[in-house]
Amino acid sequence: MPLPDRPFVAVGGFREDALRCIREAAAGLGVPLDVAPRAEDVAAAPASPPPLAVVLAMDGAGAAQACATLRSQARLAQVPIFGVAPELNDLAYGELFAWGGDDLVATASSQPMTRRLRALRAQASAAPAEPVVAKDQAIVAGAQATWRTVMGRALYNGGFAVRFAANAEGLAQECLADGVRVVVVAEDLAPEGGVAALATARARGSKAAWILVTAPKRMAAAHAAAAPLGPVSVVDGFAPPENVLFLTNELLAPRGVDKRASPRLLYGTTVAFRPAGREEDELGFSYNVSAGGVFVRTLAAPDPKQEVWLELWPPRSERRVRLAGMVAWRRAYGRVGATVPAGFGVQLTDGLAGDLDRWRAGYDAFAQSLLGATAS
């Protein structure tokens, strides 16, 4: 169906400045705008092509539940969701990603939203990509249905066929099936917990990689208990769900000589970026980093081979840095079988007044704390 028939949908109670930006962005691109007070109104709409995108008011009551309601509908599970907030920071990004959202924009200008809508419209108008054929299966096990949906979506976009289990009994029936390569499980899985479920699965012959999702204060204990039952990794339950894709890739990668100059490490912080020479920064969120590169999560990614300027906090640092680099690759939105969310990877080439050295020093300290050895 022609793209103009797919509206941009605003859900919730917006402040006047935010609603003005939303209307300007939609009108500037000729995209029809629907304003719905509740997510249930969108979910209950008659069957039709899904919206081009949905925008939520991050500072409105019920934003988390609204995102969960949208993601619970098969028709809306893959629709891009923006959050709109008066201030963009690490906390706001973390909240939106945990809910199943995809990107965050501020209310100061309509331009960031316009750029994201333009990119999504161009992608939707292009020739359909080859469908991703799932060769491997993943299981997501946990008591909360919303958590399972959001985590499963991240794995689905990474190219997995996803199945679900609500408790240890259901997981035991699923994890030994042919083709199961990874199991993502909540550490508090009923009745005995994720580590006990892992031990049972290993005793029954499971060779899958397991990822335990737990509270930050429980990560060290969970890792100590699960490490002898590997391959297994432990991830912060408050981290973006897409972090499981990174860990899955690390666990399933063939063992051998690693040709990377330095390991890629999960690290999330707000990133200001712009094509070199431009006046205004865009904002995104880092996904993984190395001594010589950064992957930035955003729906407004610049083109490959374009020089960009970045500003962000290095790991283990009390000073922001300004860096320059070249866009090495861009990952489109949607199910493309990649182990990263939508965004772009930058190869770092320079920095202001020693900032590239500061970046590498912060990275080395971070790698030392995680890996026990200097990685660059």
∠ Cα 305 97 174 (to 5°): 105
Segment 360-365 long-range contacts (CB within 8 Å, at least 24 positions apart):
360/291, 360/292, 361/314, 361/317, 362/314, 362/315, 362/316, 362/317, 363/262, 363/265, 363/289, 363/290, 363/291, 363/314, 363/315, 364/291, 365/315, 365/316
For residue 256, what are the β-bridge partners? none
> What is the assigned CATH class of domain 137-252?
alpha beta
Give the integer Cα–Cα distance in Å for 234 and 195: 11
Give the integer Cα–Cα distance in Å for 201 and 195: 10
User: Taking Cα atoms as reference points, which of 241, 265, 267 lies closest to residue 186?
Assistant: 241
For the chain, 376 residues long, give each residue's pLDDT as a single digit of tens.
444 468 999 998 898 999 999 999 999 999 999 999 899 989 888 767 889 999 999 887 789 999 999 998 888 988 999 999 988 999 999 999 999 999 999 988 899 999 999 999 988 887 666 677 788 999 999 999 999 999 999 999 888 999 999 999 999 888 888 899 999 999 999 999 999 999 999 999 999 999 999 999 999 999 999 999 989 999 999 999 999 999 998 899 886 555 667 899 999 999 999 999 999 999 999 999 999 999 999 999 999 999 999 999 999 999 999 999 999 999 999 877 777 899 999 999 999 999 999 999 999 999 999 877 444 4
User: Taking Cα atoms as reference points, which of 234, 229, 233, 235 lies closest to residue 204?
Assistant: 229
Q: Where in the chain is the domain with CATH 2.40.10.220?
A: 265-371
Q: Which two tokens stand for residue 125?
A: 């108008």
Q: Where in the chain is the domain with CATH 3.40.50.2300?
A: 3-125, 137-252
Predicted local confidence at residue 187, as pLDDT: 93
∠ Cα 366 370 374 (to 5°): 65
Q: Which two tokens stand for residue 99?
A: 């809910």
265-371 CATH fold: Thrombin, subunit H (2.40.10)
Give whole-number Cα distances, 96 to 89, 273, 275, in Å.
11, 20, 26
Predicted local confidence at residue 2, as pLDDT: 44
Q: Which two tokens stand for residue 262?
A: 């330095």
User: Taking Cα atoms as reference points, which of 87, 119, 124 lies closest to residue 104?
Assistant: 87
Whether 181 and 159 have beta carbons less than 8 Å apart is answered as: no
**Which architecture does CATH list for 3-125?**
3-Layer(aba) Sandwich (3.40)
Q: Which two tokens stand for residue 232?
A: 């297994």
* pTM for the model: 0.92
Predicted local confidence at residue 350, as pLDDT: 97
Give the integer Cα–Cα distance in Å for 322 and 319: 10
What is the separation of C-alpha 184 from the centre of its chain, rounded to a whole number of angstroms?
Answer: 16
User: Taking Cα atoms as reference points, which of 252, 256, 209 lies closest to residue 234?
Assistant: 209
Whether 297 and 328 have beta carbons less than 8 Å apart is answered as: no
Give the integer Cα–Cα distance in Å for 139 and 353: 48
